[in-house]
Amino acid sequence: MRHASGRRRRTLLAGAVAALVVVAAAVAAWFLWSPGAGAARGVEVMPVLEPATLSVAPGDVVTLAGGGVTDASFQLSQALWSSAPVVALATEDTLAEVSAATAGLSLPLLVVPGDPGEEDTARLASELERLGTRAVTQAGVTLPAGIDVEHLRASHLKRPGDAGVTPHLLVGDAATRDLAEAVLSPVAGAADIAAEDPRGAVDVIRAIAEDPEAALVVMGDFADEDYRWKLETVLTGVELPGGGQLAAPGKLYVALYGHPGSSALGVLGEQGVEATIERARAHAAPYEALTDMTVVPSLEIIATIASAGAGPDGNYSAEAEIATLRPLVDAAAENGLYVVLDLQPGRTDFLTQAKLYEELLREPHVGLALDPEWRLKPNQVHLRQIGSVAIDEVNEVANWLADLTREHLLPQKVLILHSFRISMTPDLDRLDTSRDELAIVMHVDGQGAQGAKQETWRALHDYAPDMPFWGWKNFYDEDSPAMLTPEQTMANVNPTPVFVSYQ
């Protein structure tokens, strides 16, 4: 490496090179050229300074109170940086200028008044001292005499290597986002609006999935303990079929219903695995032109089958082995389909059966359905009575599934409650819909004449006005005069369901 001045005598060249080698071996390579008289002569070089050091690590989640741009800039500095030999300073008026000039330089950017008062000076001096700052680059700021630092031009700063961490900032409104993006410019961070639920911030999730070095910073008074686990889920980068980590609203699931290898239980079992995937896609495709929702091809797989006989365990339910269901579940994951496991528990309870399939329910694209028609009381048998389920049992399953989802940082899961009679789900007004780990769907699966089906649909809506989401079933053989077409389903079933299944 040579100095800009080529006018030094040859007799000094060897000594100068030797000195530079010693310096370069001792410190990291971020070079700052003095703008003073020595720099004008091209012969004076400031000491080599260490690069700034980020205090956050990949996967970290940091929450900040936020406030005005000045408060926000200081909070970000304190949260992100443990040391910074050089700091950028700006006023609100010069923030855009300084942000652009320092983009990618990996240093803190503090916003201060153009003529800092006593309190502003003390705050700035304290932060510069904490960071070990020896120089600033700034625009529009008049520093008090008590702050003794060098003044540098941003153009004289050498860009460092990769900082190793990318901060993703989540804020509550557009104005805060714009200011935060300017403050984050030197560290190449990004800011997005995600005040209500970050699991719905598809762009953030995808950016994180593509960046293994991402850390999340949330700024604002909307952040609480519940919000924090959602941020940790976002950091996994895992998306549901159809995008994002929220199952609903905004999506329409179109599903084949049945059991693998059994054509008697629904169209899902009428063909092999690959053909089932393609048939599910073919059923979903016509809906894409009929709705603004994201259409998600799906499978509702009967995992436990109501049985005419008691069976070895005496519960009148045949539980499929995980190995039987796994090929379809895996194929669905590979092809972007959602899966719901349907339980017909007979004389046992829904939670006992749900736990049998915990391995599959830990998959992000797998939800659960409870079918009260096939939930028997002691001494009842199928087809002689229509079953029902106590609301406490439903809540027990919902809380277990929600806890499983939270524990494993999984995207929101669909939980379906099948019904075609009010008596199947007594005391539904006590259904716990507070766990937003779940999107709970009342699925109206009556069959027969279309007029009767519509009456059932309206009756259940009157019975459960607070149900978050609704589903509808079309039967190939049992509906009359014929099964609804996709166009008729979307036009005649109101309000619009989020789950449409075919049996």
Instruction: Go through 112-142 and write b for each residue having 16 or more CB atoms within 10 A of its CB, e for each that does not.
Output: bbeebeeeebebbbebbeebebbbbbbbbbe
pLDDT digits over 386-444, tens only?
889 999 999 999 999 999 999 999 999 999 999 999 999 999 999 999 999 999 999 99
As a whole number of angstroms, the distance between CA 252 and CA 279 comes to: 17
For the chain, what's the residue count? 503
Same domain for 98 and 137, yes or no, is yes
Is 290 part of any domain? Answer: no
Is 255 part of any domain? Answer: no
Confidence of residue 27 (pLDDT cuts 50, 70, 90): very low
Burial class (CB in 10 A: 0-12, 13-18, 19+), 159: exposed
Higher pLDDT, 179 or 473: 473
pLDDT digits over 449-472, tens only?
999 999 999 999 999 999 999 999
Same domain for 215 and 340, yes or no, is no
Burial class (CB in 10 A: 0-12, 13-18, 19+), 332: buried
Average confidence (pLDDT) over 22-35: 35
Same domain for 72 and 163, yes or no, is yes
Among 469, 96, 100, 406, which residue's Cα sits nearest to residue 253? 469
The secondary element (H helix, E strand) that includes residue 81 is strand 81-83
pLDDT digits over 342-394, tens only?
999 999 999 999 999 999 999 999 999 999 999 988 888 777 778 899 999 99
Burial class (CB in 10 A: 0-12, 13-18, 19+), 146: exposed
Share of the chain above pLDDT 70, in %: 90
pLDDT at residue 213 is higher than 60: yes
Confidence of residue 82 (pLDDT cuts 50, 70, 90): very high
Q: Residue 429 in contact with residue 453, Cβ under 8 Å?
A: no
Same domain for 73 and 220, yes or no, is yes
Is 252 part of any domain? Answer: no
Is 261 part of any domain? Answer: no
Is 219 part of any domain? Answer: yes
Is 247 part of any domain? Answer: no
Same domain for 138 and 91, yes or no, is yes
Is 245 part of any domain? Answer: no
- Determine the pLDDT at residue 162: 65
Same domain for 376 and 335, yes or no, is yes
Among 55, 43, 301, which residue's Cα sits nearest to residue 163? 55
Average confidence (pLDDT) over 469-490: 95
Confidence of residue 295 (pLDDT cuts 50, 70, 90): very high
Same domain for 23 and 126, yes or no, is no
pLDDT digits over 44-71, tens only?
344 445 778 999 998 888 888 888 899 9
Residues 395/404/299/483 CA torsion (nearest 10 deg): 20
Same domain for 11 and 111, yes or no, is no
The CA-CA-CA angle for residues 437, 442, 446, to 5°, reads 155
Question: 51 — phi, psi (to 5°)?
Answer: -70, 160
- The structure tokens listed for 21 are 């080698």
* CATH code of the domain containing 440: 3.20.20
Same domain for 41 and 150, yes or no, is no
Is 154 part of any domain? Answer: yes
Write the DSSP assignment of 254-279 as a string of letters: EEEEEBTTBGGG-GGGGS-HHHHHHH
Residue with tokens 């092999």: 272
Q: What is the residue range of 306's domain?
A: 269-282+296-502
Same domain for 152 and 59, yes or no, is yes
As a whole number of angstroms, the distance between CA 481 and CA 475 comes to: 11
Same domain for 207 and 336, yes or no, is no
Average confidence (pLDDT) over 77-93: 94
Q: How many domains does the chain have?
A: 3
Same domain for 204 and 163, yes or no, is yes
Beta-bridge mates of residue 190:
168
